[in-house]
Protein backbone atom coordinates (compact mmCIF):
# COMPACT_ATOMS: atom_id res chain seq x y z
CA UNK A 1 0.00 0.00 0.00
CA UNK A 2 1.31 3.42 -0.94
CA UNK A 3 1.69 5.98 1.83
CA UNK A 4 -0.36 8.46 -0.19
CA UNK A 5 -3.18 7.53 -2.54
CA UNK A 6 -4.62 9.89 -5.12
CA UNK A 7 -7.12 9.21 -7.88
CA UNK A 8 -5.28 9.83 -11.16
CA UNK A 9 -8.37 10.96 -13.05
CA UNK A 10 -8.69 12.42 -15.59
CA UNK A 11 -11.49 14.53 -14.23
CA UNK A 12 -13.48 16.63 -16.71
CA UNK A 13 -15.87 19.34 -15.51
CA UNK A 14 -17.72 22.24 -17.14
CA UNK A 15 -16.57 25.79 -16.53
CA UNK A 16 -18.01 27.19 -13.32
CA UNK A 17 -18.30 23.82 -11.59
CA UNK A 18 -17.04 23.08 -8.08
CA UNK A 19 -14.16 20.63 -8.20
CA UNK A 20 -13.20 18.31 -5.36
CA UNK A 21 -9.78 16.65 -5.36
CA UNK A 22 -8.80 14.19 -2.67
CA UNK A 23 -5.93 12.23 -1.18
CA UNK A 24 -5.81 9.59 1.50
CA UNK A 25 -2.75 8.63 3.49
CA UNK A 26 -1.65 5.97 5.93
CA UNK A 27 1.15 7.62 7.94
CA UNK A 28 -0.26 9.32 11.04
CA UNK A 29 3.06 11.18 11.50
CA UNK A 30 2.30 13.54 8.60
CA UNK A 31 1.81 17.07 9.92
CA UNK A 32 2.17 19.28 6.86
CA UNK A 33 -0.12 18.98 3.85
CA UNK A 34 0.32 20.68 0.52
CA UNK A 35 -1.35 20.95 -2.85
CA UNK A 36 0.70 21.63 -5.95
CA UNK A 37 -0.52 22.53 -9.42
CA UNK A 38 1.44 21.37 -12.43
CA UNK A 39 0.76 22.57 -15.94
CA UNK A 40 1.84 20.40 -18.84
CA UNK A 41 5.61 20.30 -19.30
CA UNK A 42 6.17 22.63 -16.32
CA UNK A 43 7.42 22.19 -12.78
CA UNK A 44 4.93 21.91 -9.89
CA UNK A 45 4.00 25.15 -8.10
CA UNK A 46 2.68 25.36 -4.56
CA UNK A 47 -1.02 26.16 -4.38
CA UNK A 48 -2.00 25.59 -0.76
CA UNK A 49 -0.18 24.70 2.44
CA UNK A 50 -1.85 23.51 5.64
CA UNK A 51 -0.47 22.51 8.99
CA UNK A 52 -2.35 19.76 10.88
CA UNK A 53 -6.15 19.59 10.72
CA UNK A 54 -8.56 22.26 9.58
CA UNK A 55 -9.49 24.40 6.62
CA UNK A 56 -7.63 27.04 4.70
CA UNK A 57 -9.09 29.29 2.04
CA UNK A 58 -7.34 31.31 -0.65
CA UNK A 59 -9.57 32.90 -3.24
CA UNK A 60 -11.38 30.17 -5.15
CA UNK A 61 -9.33 27.43 -3.45
CA UNK A 62 -10.06 25.72 -0.13
CA UNK A 63 -7.88 23.04 1.43
CA UNK A 64 -9.26 20.71 4.08
CA UNK A 65 -7.38 18.29 6.30
CA UNK A 66 -9.08 15.60 8.38
CA UNK A 67 -6.34 13.86 10.31
CA UNK A 68 -8.75 11.53 12.09
CA UNK A 69 -9.76 10.07 8.73
CA UNK A 70 -6.32 10.56 7.13
CA UNK A 71 -8.00 12.44 4.29
CA UNK A 72 -7.24 15.75 2.61
CA UNK A 73 -9.20 17.67 0.00
CA UNK A 74 -8.81 20.60 -2.33
CA UNK A 75 -11.93 22.40 -3.50
CA UNK A 76 -11.93 24.72 -6.48
CA UNK A 77 -14.95 27.01 -6.81
CA UNK A 78 -16.06 28.58 -10.08
CA UNK A 79 -13.55 26.49 -12.00
CA UNK A 80 -11.95 28.06 -15.07
CA UNK A 81 -10.32 26.55 -18.16
CA UNK A 82 -7.04 27.98 -16.81
CA UNK A 83 -7.40 25.58 -13.86
CA UNK A 84 -6.82 22.66 -16.25
CA UNK A 85 -3.67 21.03 -14.89
CA UNK A 86 -2.47 18.12 -12.79
CA UNK A 87 -2.95 18.58 -9.05
CA UNK A 88 -0.54 16.83 -6.70
CA UNK A 89 -0.99 16.41 -2.99
CA UNK A 90 2.12 16.22 -0.82
CA UNK A 91 2.74 15.47 2.83
CA UNK A 92 5.57 15.88 5.28
CA UNK A 93 6.21 14.61 8.77
CA UNK A 94 7.34 16.88 11.57
CA UNK A 95 11.12 17.13 11.85
CA UNK A 96 11.80 15.60 8.46
CA UNK A 97 12.62 17.19 5.15
CA UNK A 98 11.18 14.34 3.08
CA UNK A 99 7.97 15.02 1.18
CA UNK A 100 5.73 12.22 -0.04
CA UNK A 101 3.72 13.05 -3.15
CA UNK A 102 0.54 11.58 -4.52
CA UNK A 103 0.51 10.50 -8.14
CA UNK A 104 -1.52 13.54 -9.20
CA UNK A 105 -5.04 14.07 -10.57
CA UNK A 106 -5.45 15.44 -14.08
CA UNK A 107 -8.20 18.05 -14.24
CA UNK A 108 -9.74 19.43 -17.40
CA UNK A 109 -12.19 22.34 -17.19
CA UNK A 110 -14.26 22.62 -20.34
CA UNK A 111 -15.24 26.08 -21.63
Partner 1 sequence: NAGVTQTPKFQVLKTGQSMTLQCAQDMNHEYMSWYRQDPGMGLRLIHYSVGAGITDQGEVPNGYNVSRSTTEDFPLRLLSAAPSQTSVYFCASSPAGGETQYFGPGTRLLVL
Note whether 110 and 14 are within 8 A (CB). Answer: yes
Report how far residue 17's alpha carbon sits from residue 13's, in angstroms, rounded to the nearest whole number: 6
Under 8 Å CB-to-CB from 26, ≥6 apart: which residues?
Answer: 1, 2, 3, 4, 70
Is-contact 91 99, C-beta < 8 A? Answer: yes
User: Which of left, alpha, beta for 16 (phi over 0: left; psi -120 to 50: alpha)?
Assistant: left
Q: Which is nearer to partner 1, 17 or 100 (CB)?
A: 100
Binder of partner 1 out of 6, 64, 79, 84 (CB under 8 A):
6
In the complex, the smallest distance separating the C-beta of residue 76 from partner 1, rounded to whole angstroms, is 20
Q: Please, what is the minimum distance in Å from the beta carbon of residue 74 to partner 1?
A: 16
Contacts of partner 1 in 67-96 (CB under 8 A):
88, 90, 92
Q: Name which of 32 and 75 has its Cβ closer to partner 1.
A: 32
Task: Note the residues at the interface with partner 1 (CB under 8 A).
Answer: 4, 6, 8, 32, 41-46, 49, 88, 90, 92, 97-99, 101-104
Amino acid sequence: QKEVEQDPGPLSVPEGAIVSLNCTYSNSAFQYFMWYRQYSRKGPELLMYTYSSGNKEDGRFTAQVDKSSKYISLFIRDSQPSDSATYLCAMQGSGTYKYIFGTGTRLKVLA
